[in-house]
Amino acid sequence: MRYRYLVLILFSLMARPALSRTDEWVQLFNGKDLTGWEQVGKGNFVVENGMLKTVGGMGLLWCTRQKIGHSVVRVVFKLTHDQDDSGVFIRIPQKPTEPWMPVKQGYEVEIGNWQDAYSCTGVLYSLTKARARPSKATGEWNTMEITLDGPHTIVFVTDYTEGQAVPAKQHNYEPDRGRRPDAGYIGLQNHSAESAVWFREVAVKSLGN
C-alpha cells in the first residue's frame, strides 16, 4: 500500500501570490477566531482551546480568502462520537449564501465512520467509492491531505477525474452530477446538533508551477 494511515486528496487551486509558495504551509485557521471565514446555515463553529468545534444544526463554515486549486489542503480532525458527521467541501463554484448550494454544486469529502463505501471518510460523498478504510478510532486525530490538480481529484481511498462515470443521484440531498470548476471555495460542514467534530488545523500549500 503506497500510503498508510493518511487520506490524500488531490485537487486544483487558483491561488493568489500568498499561496504560491511551495516550501511551507499557509494556515487558513489562526487558532484564535474566525477571521477569514464566514458561516452560513443554522449551525455554526466555535473556537475552543485553539480549535474549531461544530455545534448546532446544519451549516457551512467557508474560507472567504479566495478560490483554491492546484494545491494541497491539509485538515486535522477528530470525531467525538461514532456517529459524528462532517465534511470538507471543495470546488464550491460561488460564494455560499446558504448551506445547500455547496452540497449540490461542490464536492463533499466525507468525514464519518459510515459503513457505506460511498459515504465514509475520504470519498467524494455519493460519487466515489472507498478503496480502503484508513481512519483512526473515534477520539483520535486524523490528518487528511487534499490535493486538487486541475480536473483530477485523488484521495487515498478514491481517485476521480471530472467526466468519469458516477452512480446516478438517488436522493435530493445528494450532490448534483456534473463537472466542477478546477478552483473553488472550500469549507467545513457542521452537520447536525448531535455531531461534535473538532478541527485543529486547516492549511494549504501550492503545488507550484
Nearest to 111 by CA among 48, 26, 204, 187: 187
**Rounded Cα gap, residues 189 and 147, in angstroms:** 19
pLDDT at 28 over 50: yes
Average pLDDT over residues 4-22: 36
167 is in which domain, residue-wise? Answer: 7-206
Q: Tens of pLDDT along 139-180?
A: 999 999 988 999 998 888 989 999 999 999 999 999 999 999
Neighbours of 47 (CB within 10 A): 14
Report if residue 20 sits inside a domain.
yes
Coil/strand/helix, residue 202: strand
| Predicted pLDDT of residue 134 | 85
Q: Is 114 among the domain residues?
A: yes
204: confidence class by pLDDT, cuts 50, 70, 90: very high
Confirm whether 201 is domain-assigned.
Answer: yes
Tell me, yes or no, whether 169 lies in a domain. Answer: yes
- Neighbouring CB atoms inside 10 A of 127's CB total 21
| Nearest residue to 130 (alpha-carbon basis) of 12, 11, 7 | 7
> What one-character DSSP code corresponds to residue 139?
T
Domain of 109, CATH number, reads 2.60.120.560
Give domain status of residue 44, yes or no: yes
- Put residue 195 in one of left, alpha, beta given phi > 0 → left and psi -120 to 50 → alpha: beta
Task: Tally the domains of the chain.
Answer: 1
Is 159 among the domain residues?
Answer: yes
Q: What is the C-alpha R_g of the chain?
A: 15
44 CA to centre of own chain? 16
Asked whether the CA dihedral 197, 127, 42, 63 is positive or negative, the reply is positive
Residue 2 within any structural domain of the chain: no
Has residue 1 been placed in a domain?
A: no
pLDDT digits (tens, 9 = 90+) for 124-139: 999 999 998 888 999 9
Q: Does residue 16 surpass a pLDDT of 80?
A: no
Q: Are 89 and 102 in contact (CB under 8 A)?
A: yes
- Model confidence at 192, pLDDT cuts 50, 70, 90, reads confident
H helix intervals, the chain:
100-105
pTM of the model: 0.88
Return the higher-pLDDT residue of 63 and 5. 63
